[in-house]
Amino acid sequence: MPAEAGVTHLPDATIGVPYLRCIGCDADVTAPTEDFACPGCGDRLEVAYRRRGAPDADVLKTLWHARKVSSAPTDLSGVWRFREALPILPAGAAPVTLREGNTPIYPLARCAKSAGVDALLAKHQGMNPTGSFKDTGMTTALSMARVKGFQWVGCASTGNTSASMAAYAAHAGMRALVLIPEGKIAWGKLSQSLDYAAITCQLKTDFDGCVRVLGEAIRRFPLYLLNSVNPYRLEGQKTTAYEMMEQLAWEPPDHVIVPGGNLGNSSALGKGFREMLALGLIRKLPRLSIIQARGANPLVRSMKEFAGERMEPVRAETRATAIRIGNPASWKKAVAVLRETGGACEDVSEEEIGVAKAEIGADGVGCEPASAVTLAGLKNLVRSGFVKRGESVVLVLTGHCLKDPEYTMDFHRDAAAGDQSLRKPPVLLDADPAAVIDLLNRMGM
Ligand code: F0G
């Protein structure tokens, strides 16, 4: 990180010297495979930090807070603002940033009532530059790709990773290859990839099939992999946990609830909380619970059937297409987070997702279907007694409500569905004020 990139950079305050560690055999990996596996045992890698005397927690908090009034590009990023906790780029290398992070936490009053808790907060990662949490990890991993001299970056995606990667690659003047499952991604996301000028390939397979094809392609072409097996992505994504704690005055909630797809995000947030506890930035870990769609629930099954020791891929099917994933790459990391934080792992039905999404919308916040599994899951966790009425809960909403308007339209236009109270289909009227007034009168004062 060049000194001029941030007005308040304190190099001595970094949390340690970063290196890649294998989560399976604990090896210090200097030459990972193209798909970021350990060359020794094949397991996943994570960025770990060798401590050189712990930085003072209060110094870090003051530093990060001070950057909020800086106008240096790296300070304006809600990810790089926390750069003492990130792998440092070589001197002279500026990060590729679109001012990601700095996302709001909203109270959800109606949703709290329907879930049966006194208060409910949502950290809205859909308020990132391309409308999803992926931007927080893309800034770190794509910056790494540029430092390493790659021209091309690539990902397999259910739509949000590709939208994000395409934007950051375009901004950096790099080329992007997107592999997406044909017909199974939301139009908002597909259109972003086109708009940001990526080479977009729709493959006649599902997300898991796209991952397989890309895995082969990166062995034959110099393409930097930007799926969440890339440990530098998860480093950026973990800063969401840091930012959440800063917003909550470093007081951890009792529960954080996230959707689970490829399981990178839950792993990243868990890592963030674990690090903050070790650094003395927070005094306890929140329980981090992971919710999946019932038709795409390999982690739920792994926890129930194999106590998290084994993962059997499933054939995934859900209209929450972002998490239509049957063979999640980061399942071992996610299992570790569940164990360490004492979180729950549950699945929810398609109907529950639709209702939860409409409820989040009716609170004026809105999100895409995959994000709504968090509220649907919370309701079940309150019912089972895992979450108590007076406990503090933060839902992580991962994507913006404009990502998948087709889903929203179908929900509101479904006149055959059981409960119509949340459905607000457009009303067709004559272009006549009397017709509008008549409608309002029928609605009541
Ligand atoms: N929510 C949204 C909106 C997503 O796009 C994703 C994943 C998830 C949740 C799940 O996060 O995979 O880290 O467990 N989308 C990926 C993609 C897979 O390609 O856009 P995860």
* CA of 136 relative to ligand 1 center, distance in Å: 13
- Which atom of ligand 1 approaches the CA of 163 most closely? 20
Confidence of residue 53 (pLDDT cuts 50, 70, 90): confident
User: What is the C-alpha separation between 320 and 340, in angstroms, rounded?
Assistant: 28
Q: Whose CA is nearest to atom 4 of ligand 1?
A: 322
Sequence-ordered list of residues with C-beta below 8 angstroms from that of 98, at least 6 positions apart, any chain: 129, 130, 135, 139, 167, 168, 171
Q: Whose CA is nearest to atom 15 of ligand 1?
A: 322
- Choosing from 157, 158, 203 the residue with most ligand 1 atoms within 8 A of its CB, the one to mutate for a pocket test is 158
* CA of 264 relative to ligand 1 center, distance in Å: 8
User: What is the C-alpha separation between 91 and 109, in angstroms, rounded?
Assistant: 47
- C-alpha distances in angstroms, 47 versus 77, 190, 235? 20, 31, 7
* CA of 261 relative to ligand 1 center, distance in Å: 5
- Which atom of ligand 1 approaches the CA of 228 most closely? 13
**Around Cβ 386, how many Cβ atoms within 10 Å?**
18
**Around Cβ 69, how many Cβ atoms within 10 Å?**
9
Do 157 and 206 touch, CB atoms closer than 8 A?
A: no
Q: Assess whether the C-beta atom of 129 lies below 6 angstroms from ligand 1.
A: no
Backbone angles phi, psi at 238, to 5 degrees: -65, -25
Mean residue pLDDT across the chain: 95
**Residue 3 pLDDT:** 38
Strand order in the sheet with 287-293: 105-107, 121-124, 393-397, 255-259, 287-293, 345-348
* CA of 333 relative to ligand 1 center, distance in Å: 15
Strand order in the sheet with 223-225: 199-203, 175-181, 152-156, 223-225
Q: Assess whether the C-beta atom of 321 lies below 6 angstroms from ligand 1.
A: no
List the end-to-end C-alpha distance of the chain, in Å, as a whole number: 59
**Residue 2 pLDDT:** 43
Q: Assess whether the C-beta atom of 265 lies below 6 angstroms from ligand 1.
A: yes
Does residue 335 carry a pLDDT above 50?
Answer: yes
Q: Give the residue-averaged pLDDT of 362-369.
A: 98
Burial class of residue 149, CB neighbours in 10 A (0-12, 13-18, 19+): exposed
Q: Assess whether the C-beta atom of 114 lies below 6 angstroms from ligand 1.
A: no
* CA of 325 relative to ligand 1 center, distance in Å: 9
Q: Assess whether the C-beta atom of 368 lies below 6 angstroms from ligand 1.
A: yes
* CA of 235 relative to ligand 1 center, distance in Å: 16
User: What is the C-alpha separation between 146 and 159, in angstroms, rounded?
Assistant: 23
Do 282 and 276 touch, CB atoms closer than 8 A?
A: yes
Confidence of residue 246 (pLDDT cuts 50, 70, 90): very high
Residue type, 40: G
> 81 by DSSP, 3-state: which?
helix
Q: Give the residue-averaged pLDDT of 402-406.
A: 97
Residue type, 397: L
Q: Give the residue-averaged pLDDT of 185-212.
A: 97
pLDDT tens digits, one per residue of 86-126: 998 888 899 999 999 999 999 999 999 999 999 999 999 99
Q: Assess whether the C-beta atom of 343 lies below 6 angstroms from ligand 1.
A: no
Q: Assess whether the C-beta atom of 159 lies below 6 angstroms from ligand 1.
A: yes
Q: How far is CA 317 from the centre of its chain?
A: 20
Please, where are the H alpha helices in 123-263? 134-147, 160-172, 187-195, 207-220, 231-247
* CA of 390 relative to ligand 1 center, distance in Å: 30
* CA of 322 relative to ligand 1 center, distance in Å: 5
- C-alpha distances in angstroms, 93 versus 39, 89, 171, 178, 190? 28, 6, 15, 26, 31
Q: Give the residue-averaged pLDDT of 381-404.
A: 98
Residue type, 362: A
Residue type, 16: G
Q: Assess whether the C-beta atom of 260 lies below 6 angstroms from ligand 1.
A: yes
Q: Which of 5-14, 15-24, 58-67, 182-191 has the lowest mean pLDDT?
A: 5-14
Report percent pLDDT > 90 for the chain: 91
- Which atom of ligand 1 approaches the CA of 325 most closely? 18
Tokens 């193209």, residue?
Answer: 34
- Choosing from 161, 179, 323 the residue with most ligand 1 atoms within 8 A of its CB, the one to mutate for a pocket test is 323
Q: Give pTM, 2 decimals.
A: 0.96
Q: Assess whether the C-beta atom of 318 lies below 6 angstroms from ligand 1.
A: no
* CA of 227 relative to ligand 1 center, distance in Å: 10
Do 184 and 156 touch, CB atoms closer than 8 A?
A: no
* CA of 160 relative to ligand 1 center, distance in Å: 7
Q: Which of 4-18, 122-136, 282-296, 349-363 has the lowest mean pLDDT?
A: 4-18
Q: Which long-range contacts (CB under 8 A, 24 or more apart) does 15-18 make?
A: 15/49, 15/51, 15/54, 15/55, 15/84, 15/85, 15/275, 15/279, 16/49, 16/50, 16/51, 16/52, 17/49, 17/50, 17/52, 18/47, 18/48, 18/49, 18/86, 18/87, 18/88
Does residue 237 carry a pLDDT above 50?
Answer: yes
User: What is the C-alpha separation between 337 and 394, in angstroms, rounded?
Assistant: 16
E-assigned strands of 297-375? Answer: 345-348
Burial class of residue 262, CB neighbours in 10 A (0-12, 13-18, 19+): buried
* CA of 323 relative to ligand 1 center, distance in Å: 6
Q: Which of the two residues, 312 and 419, has the higher pLDDT score?
A: 312
